Amino acid sequence: MDLDLSADEIAFRDDLRAFIAANLPEEWRGVSDVSSRVDDAVTRQWLDRLAPQGYLTAGWPAAFGGVPKWTPMQQHIFRSELARARAPEVPMMEFGMVAPLVILFGSDEQKARFLPRILSGEDRWGQGFSEPQAGSDLASLRTSARREGDEYVVNGQKIWTTFAHKATMLFCLVRTDPDAARPHAGISMLFIPTDTPGITIRPIWTIEGAHHFNEVFFDDVRVPVSARLGEENKGWDYARALLSFERFGAAALQTTQEILTQIGDLIDADDPLRLDLAALEAEAAALEMYELRTFDGARAGWRLVSNPRS
């Protein structure tokens, strides 16, 4: 495994460091440390500084302000440097998941509608996958979408929908063919505005008294067929691609490492908590090695994204 950065990667990192030093005010640092207390207004201002440099649109089509695609190692450097600086977090759901999904599988109309609204922050997205009886066994999901002319009529319930209460849009897995030979084969993905009549969003309060999670109920929700991503009954393929994007950032490893360092600064050298901290640091270091090995594998052509079209 080659962990050394190439000359291009070092130049990319140094440019980014210079940009952060010049553009991230001290008082914006740390606003994403606790996810339930993220300051959305500060995050927006930070995104508005990142966007003109192309830092939010790597791999996007040029027509939407895109710049050439980054390598996985560049993505890693970007996340690491922002985490080191405790910069406001770039929203994973919109930039790390929905945008690449729409670019890969969306219609031209969907790209033109959604990409600019993600960049401007007009749309926030929620992920409507899990259901009360469909978590690990996601393919057993029951939320149904019955075709009526050029509309689907959606009925059912999602759960654990992070930030649905802030979202303007949901991407949802729904069952479009209840008679398919395999449960995975009868699923489609729909893009549904949260203000569509028949949608009810209810908070689930966490043990710490925070509100990230929600239940989302669909009661005869009418969605145009044009709101479907890709082909009918191919939703499982798109979901797998999406989950492979999600895996890139879901662990928020660099942020975790930065927080562990901060905790270390607060604990005395002889405090017994140091042992617990050291164990966590070792776990994080092991995960980091695993990530780096994967990115090094990508240099050698490993396929990191599940894409049924490639």
Ligand X SMILES: Cc1cc2nc3c(=O)[nH]c(=O)nc-3n(C[C@H](O)[C@H](O)[C@H](O)COP(=O)(O)OP(=O)(O)OC[C@H]3O[C@@H](n4cnc5c(N)ncnc54)[C@H](O)[C@@H]3O)c2cc1C
Instruction: Pick between residue 55 and residue 160 the one whose CB is nearest to ligand X.
Output: 160
Q: By CB under 6 A, which span of 66-74, 96-104, 127-135, 196-204 interacts with ligand X?
A: 127-135
Q: Which listed residue (151, 232, 246, 281) is catalytic?
A: 246
For ligand X, give the closer residue by CB, 136 or 310.
Answer: 136
**Least Å distance between CB 40 and ligand X?**
17
Compute the least distance from the CB of residue 252 to ligand X, in Å.
11
Give the burial string for 46-82 (b: 16+ CB within 10 Å, else e): bbebbeeeebbbbebeeebebeeebbbbbbbbbbbbb
Angle at which helices 235-249 and 72-84 pack, to 10 degrees? 50
Residue showing the smallest CB distance to ligand X in the complex: 135
- Of 43, 74, 127, 157, which lies in the binding site for ligand X, with binding defined by CB under 6 A? 127
For the segment 130-159, give every residue that binds ligand X (CB under 6 A).
130, 135-136
Task: Report CA-CA distances (Å) from 291 to 34, 77, 284, 295.
Answer: 24, 12, 10, 6
Query: Which of 74, 157 has the CB closer to ligand X?
Result: 157
DSSP-derived letter for residue 306 is -
Nearer to ligand X, 120 or 140 (CB): 140
CB of 165 to ligand X, least distance (A): 12
Give least dist CB 239 to ligand X, A: 10
Percentage helix, strand, coil for the chain under 3-state DSSP, each rounded to 5? 50, 20, 35
Residues 6+ apart with CB under 8 A from 263: 277
Contact 157, 216 (CB under 8 A): yes
- Report if residue 129 touches ligand X, rule: CB under 6 A: yes
- Is 246 catalytic? The answer is yes
Least CB distance to ligand X at residue 253 (A): 15
Q: Please, which residues bridge with residue 172 across strands?
A: 128, 190
Burial class of residue 94 in the structure, from the number of CB atoms within 10 Å of its CB (0-12 exposed, 13-18 middle, 19+ buried) = buried
For residue 244, state whether it binds ligand X (rule: CB under 6 A): no
Residues in contact with ligand X, counted by CB under 6 A, come to a total of 9
Nearer to ligand X, 199 or 292 (CB): 199
Indicate the SS3 state at residue 180: coil
End-to-end Cα, the chain, rounded Å: 26
User: At its nearest, how many Å lie between ligand X and the CB of residue 127?
Assistant: 4
**What are 213's strand-pairing partners?**
204
Q: What are the contacts of 76-79 at 24+ separation with CB within 8 A?
A: 76/291, 76/292, 76/295, 77/5, 77/9, 77/12, 77/13, 77/16, 78/16, 79/249, 79/254
Stretch that binds ligand X, among 69-77, 124-132, 182-190, 200-208 (CB under 6 A): 124-132
Using the rule CB under 6 A, is 254 a contact of ligand X? Answer: no
Residue (74 or 130) nearer to ligand X, CB: 130
Which residues, 160 to 199, sit near ligand X by CB under 6 A? 160-162
Annotated catalytic sites, by residue?
246
Residues that bind ligand X in the complex, under the rule CB under 6 A: 127-130, 135-136, 160-162
